[in-house]
Amino acid sequence: MRGRTKPSWGHNLKIKIKKALGMNVILCDNCKWNWRSSCHDPVRPHATWCPDFEKRGK
């Protein structure tokens, strides 16, 4: 998935289903770049898809 500039069709559908189920769909909560100085993406802290996402705690 890395390097894509847009979420895939299937991804958007998955997000919709998860939201409908009340699941957490926000990536930034678990992202190690979730700091003002590390991430300059305007969608932070509410990204549901992000090419730079990396799991925190690795």
**Residues in the site for ligand SF4, rule: CB under 6 A?**
27-28, 31, 33-34, 39, 41, 43-44, 47, 50, 52-53
Min dist CB 38 to ligand SF4, Å, is 7
Min dist CB 14 to ligand SF4, Å, is 16
CA 42 from centre of chain: 12
Min dist CB 3 to ligand SF4, Å, is 14
Q: What is the largest CA-CA distance in the chain?
A: 33
User: Strand, helix or coil at 55?
Assistant: strand
What are the beta bridge partners of residue 55?
Answer: 31
Spatial distance between the Cα atoms of 40 and 24, rounded to a whole number of angstroms: 22
* Nearer residue to ligand SF4 within complex by CB, 9 or 55: 55
